[in-house]
Amino acid sequence: MRNKYFIIVLMCCGLFLLLPALPKQLSPISVFRVTEKPAVIVRGSNGSALTVNISFGDIEVEKWIQELNKPYPLLFVDTKWAERFPETVQLIKEKNIPVGLLGDEGVTYEQNTPKFVKQLEQFEKTFELKPLWFRTRDEVFPLALSSMLWEAEINALGSSVTWSGGNPPPVTKGEILSVPHHREERIDFAELKKLDKDRTLITVEAMLFGTTVKVKKIPE
């Protein structure tokens, strides 16, 4: 009997020692789906979550990220921008700021599946992780794109309201705020401080994971 227990203990110890060597793909928290079928998430049930779309900017973006404090916004990053500014990318990684993949306009994916695949591969190479979130520039998600995201276990995230400065929008329960920072349309990062005065910001994960979410229909 003692020999039997001794063997069981040895097996448990051996499994414990092997755990660090298991591939990252087996991690239960590496990916998750918020919805039960392909859909675009546009709102949570509680709180306010900030998301920022970044495809342009150098020093001002790096300075803003340096000054960011928790709870961090979700950054949607254009892969071409990320390639140009590796130092800023490294800062995002060091601070463990949540980041998603920012794509092009939705229509570009209707007949161009390789484009999505290439962007996804570049994102994984740059950030050394698989994105949990994807957003198109115009928040339009054609059926073909939504199907690809579902197969890749990546969540399509839209927003409740887009804000590019000025007076902040009225507070709405469960809102997902989208802020652009592109060459043609970008916010002064100092403006974001206005949001802290009338709403309590939480992370997208805190708002959505394990809660009821609102979605919009995917165009056929």
- Residue 71 belongs to domain with CATH number: 3.20.20.370
pLDDT at residue 6, rounded to an integer: 40
Domain that holds residue 60: 39-216
Structure token pair of residue 77: 């990053």
Spatial distance between the Cα atoms of 96 and 75, rounded to a whole number of angstroms: 11
Separation of first and last alpha carbons in the chain: 65
- What is the amino acid identity at position 5? Y
Axis-axis angle for helices 59-67, 86-95 (nearest 10): 10
Beta strands in 87-212 (DSSP E): 99-102, 133-135, 155-157, 161-162, 175-181, 201-202
pLDDT at residue 197, rounded to an integer: 85
Per-residue pLDDT 10s for the chain (220 aa) are 444 444 333 344 443 333 333 333 333 334 467 777 888 999 988 899 999 999 999 999 999 999 999 999 999 999 999 999 999 999 999 999 999 999 999 999 987 889 999 999 999 999 999 999 999 999 999 999 999 999 999 999 999 999 999 999 999 999 999 999 999 999 999 999 899 888 989 999 888 875 556 666 555 5
Is residue 150, in this structure, part of any structural domain at all?
A: yes
Whether the model clears a pTM of 0.85, i.e. scores above it, the answer is: no
Is residue 109, in this structure, part of any structural domain at all?
A: yes
Is residue 34, in this structure, part of any structural domain at all?
A: no
If one counts the domains in the chain, the total is 1
Beta carbons within 8 Å of 66's beta carbon, 6+ residues apart: 91
Is residue 22, in this structure, part of any structural domain at all?
A: no
Is residue 67, in this structure, part of any structural domain at all?
A: yes
Is residue 73, in this structure, part of any structural domain at all?
A: yes
Is residue 12, in this structure, part of any structural domain at all?
A: no
Is residue 167, in this structure, part of any structural domain at all?
A: yes
